[in-house]
Amino acid sequence: MVDAGKVRLGRQQALELAKTVKTLVVARGKKIITVDLVKDHPGDEALAGLLLGPTGNLRAPTLRLGKTLLIGFHEEAYKEHLG
């Protein structure tokens, strides 16, 4: 567990984190984007667009559940993955 208020993950660290999981679930407003990183193989630019906020750091909240990375907050996505 890392406190995003104290530790900032920049572009390179965020990309490295994404490469350790199989699925990204990204909340963008009311929309949820699910990316299968094994099947879809998005490039670094596409990944960075999903992972990074306007400051250039990893968006918060970010939650890793096994091989799934939840980016941003969306109540339905959290319910689905946390039960």
| Of the candidates 24, 52, 59, the residue with the CA atom closest to the CA atom of residue 38 | 24
- Find where tokens 């596409």 sit: 46
Output the pLDDT for position 5: 66
pLDDT in tens, 45-60: 999 999 999 999 999 8
Choose among 33, 31, 73, 28: nearest CA to 54. Answer: 28
Judged against a pLDDT cut of 80, whether residue 35 lies above it is answered with yes
**pLDDT value at 34 more than 70:** yes
Domain boundaries, the chain: 11-82
- Dist. CA 4–CA 37, nearest whole Å: 24
Report the first-to-last Cα separation within the chain, whole angstroms.
20
pTM (two decimals):
0.88
What's the whole-number average pLDDT of the chain?
92
